[in-house]
Structure 1
Amino acid sequence: MTALVLSLIAAGLILAVLAWTLESGSTLEIVLSGVTLACLVAVGVILLAGDGVVGWREGWWNVLLLLAGAFAVAGGGPLTTSVLALVDRGNTRSQSTQQAGEVLRGGALIGALERGAIFASIVAGWPEGLAIVLAIKGLARYPELRSPDQPASVTPQAVAERFIIGTFTSVLWSVTCAGVLLSR
């Protein structure tokens, strides 16, 4: 079971890194993100069906810690952009969440830092860290969310929608990756 869990996490991590190299919102990125998500779900099912990570040798648990942390950071980016692309599919409005990305610059880097901080705080047994990360992000992004100086093609509602969808997807991904380690 240990080898299967580690293999699935490693495969998901490789797929996530490949998805980062693709055009944001492309069909292939969405497919790779879906397979990456399937890897994480499979790991969760395997651990829930068994005894979780109880009885794992410390060395293998440490490998899982490193892989799951990298997976939390790398896997959330393509998944978040895929979710945003799916939200925009068939959108005939000129105000899409993709155009709102022009306003919310640095989202990929901020998201990676956010996922890393959330993963670390949950694994360290300090869930309050999640609230602090989200409060900092919300306060830092507030001026961009309410700025009247946005391009004419972007509404404040589209910017807020992108912020909320992106943040929720990113946070849920990193918390789920941390949950793999806490399946004792």
Structure 2
Amino acid sequence: MTAIVLSLTATGLILAVLAWLPRSGSTLQIVVSGLMLACLFTVGILLLAGDGVAGWREAWWNILLLVAGAFAVAGGGPLTTSVLALVDRGNTRSQSTQQAGEVLRGGALIGSLERMAIFASIVAGWPEGVAVVLAIKGLARYPELRSPDQPASVTPQAVAERFIIGTFTSVLWSVTCAGLLLSH
């Protein structure tokens, strides 16, 4: 079981890296993100059906720690972009969460740091760290979310939606990846 879990997690990590290559929100990125999500879901089912990571040799657990951490950081970006693209279907240009990225600059880097901090705090046994990360992010983004100087090409509601949907998707992804390591 250990080999299957590690292989699927590594496959998910490879898919996560590949998901960064297509255009953001493209159908190909959405499909690759779906496959990546399927890998994570399958690993979760396998761990829940078995004994989780209890009884694993420490070396294998450490490998899973590194691969799952990289998967949490790398996979969250394309998944979040894919979710935002699915939300945008049928929206006008000014309502587009993709256009709202003009206002919320640096989202990919901030999201990666956010996922890294959340993954680390969960694995370290400090779930309160999630609240700290979200508070810092909310306070840092507040001026951009409330700024009257937003471009006319995007509505304030689209900016707020992008922030909320992107944050929730990113957080849920990193918490789920961390949860694999805590399965006993």
Distance 2:112 2:105 in 1: 13
Deviations 1:7-65, CA, capped at 9 Å, x for gaps: 00000000000011211000000000000000000000000000000110000000000
Distance 1:148 1:108 in 2: 24
Q: Is the 8 A contact 2:93 2:99 kept in 1?
A: no
Residue of structure 1 equivalent to 2:135 = 135
Residue of structure 2 equivalent to 1:115 = 115
Supply the AA of the counterpart residue of 1:41: F
Residue of structure 2 equivalent to 1:152 = 152
Distance 1:153 1:93 in 2: 7
Q: CA deviation at 1:93?
A: 5.5
Supply the AA of the counterpart residue of 1:34: G
Distance 2:28 2:158 in 1: 25
Distance 1:134 1:93 in 2: 28
Number of equivalent positions: 184
TM-score, normalised to structure 2, is: 0.99
Q: CA deviation at 1:81?
A: 0.1
SS of 2:60's equivalent in the other structure is helix
Q: Is the 8 A contact 2:93 2:154 kept in 1?
A: no
Distance 2:54 2:106 in 1: 39
Residue of structure 2 equivalent to 1:56 = 56
Residue of structure 1 equivalent to 2:28 = 28
Correspondences of 1:169-184 after superposition (within 5 Å): 169-184=169-184
Deviations 1:109-137, CA, capped at 9 Å, x for gaps: 00000000000000000001000000000
Percent identical: 87
Root-mean-square deviation (Å) = 0.7
- 5+ residue gaps, structure 1, are none
Distance 1:93 1:21 in 2: 24
Residue of structure 2 equivalent to 1:164 = 164
Residue of structure 2 equivalent to 1:14 = 14
Distance 1:69 1:16 in 2: 12
Distance 1:103 1:92 in 2: 17
Supply the AA of the counterpart residue of 2:98: Q
TM-score, normalised to structure 1, is: 0.99
Q: CA deviation at 1:142?
A: 0.2
Q: CA deviation at 1:90?
A: 2.0
SS of 1:94's equivalent in the other structure is helix
Distance 1:93 1:61 in 2: 46
Distance 1:93 1:103 in 2: 14
2:45 equivalent to 1:41 = no
Supply the AA of the counterpart residue of 2:33: S
Q: Is the 8 A contact 2:84 2:165 kept in 1?
A: yes
Residue of structure 2 equivalent to 1:4 = 4
- 5+ residue gaps, structure 2, are none
Distance 1:20 1:93 in 2: 23
Q: CA deviation at 1:92?
A: 3.5
